[in-house]
Amino acid sequence: MKGKVYLVGAGPGDPEFLTLKALRLLQRAELVLHDDLVSKEILGLVSSKAEVRNVGKRCGAKSISQTEINFLLIALAESGLNVVRLKSGDPLIFGRGGEEIEALYKAGIEFEVVPGVTAALGAAAAAQIPLTHRDISHAVVFLSGNSAAGREAADWKKLVASGATLAIYMPGHDYDALARRLLHAGIGEETPCALISAASTREQKIAVTTVGALPHAPELASPSLFIVGEVVALAQVLSGSTVNATELSPLLPQLRQFVAAEELA
């Protein structure tokens, strides 16, 4: 009999962000294939009887290809094993889960997707940034700072014009180029933004600035996520950060009034 593949989201790093279903599958797994970004604390929850393999792909390092991972998932399931494919964040958001689903479907392998807390949600929670706000931003867009070779990148001008909060995965370390790209797309220099590195882990670091000052921001280690939009200024009011938020956004006085009114309500 064929086995089954579970595409499981591990969340941004904190093991307490795992879903109960994800935890149950890890404790019952026969074999776990995990991304390089899955934390040691989460891997420590895997059954001692399970075989665990790192199939992570990191930029600039030799690693197993996606085609090889797809083949491995199919071969292991066809041998009768129940396999947990453990991915950081959510399996279907910038995690190539869609490619693995296609391969499994074509091969006739049974699979199930177990969602996880994606990086944008973990990073926003860590920095106390409300990604949407009924008075400021009615939408949030998840996009990648990189696009696959030969593929057209997202139209950042349209995204900026929508007024949505932008949550940018894999922003890279060229903050000057990132700022120029945003400014070219029509975003204002005084728009607040935040870089969050290793969200929800012991190595977590957060830097808040503006798009205009982004080139001078401290370089944070990967994995990192970049959030840009007026909602970032509200986070400074709520968190009591030492960052001088009065320089971040012209909306700040209204935001302070809103917070005060909410506290009195």
> Would you please indicate which residues are annotated as catalytic (active-site) residues?
35, 57
Q: Is the peptide bond before 215 cis (omega within 30 degrees of 0)?
A: no
Both tokens of 261, joined, read 């009114």
Both tokens of 115, joined, read 């969602």
Taking a C-beta distance cutoff of 8 angstroms, is the pair 174, 182 a contact? no
How far apart, in whole angstroms, are the C-alpha atoms of residue 231 and residue 194? 10
What are the Cα distances from residue 246, in Å, to 83, 87, 132, 191, 201? 51, 39, 21, 12, 29
H/E stretch holding 264 reads helix 252-264
Paired sense of beta strands 51-54 and 31-34, if any? parallel
Both tokens of 192, joined, read 């607040």
Number of other CB atoms surrounding residue 59 within 10 Å: 9
Taking a C-beta distance cutoff of 8 angstroms, is the pair 171, 225 a contact? yes
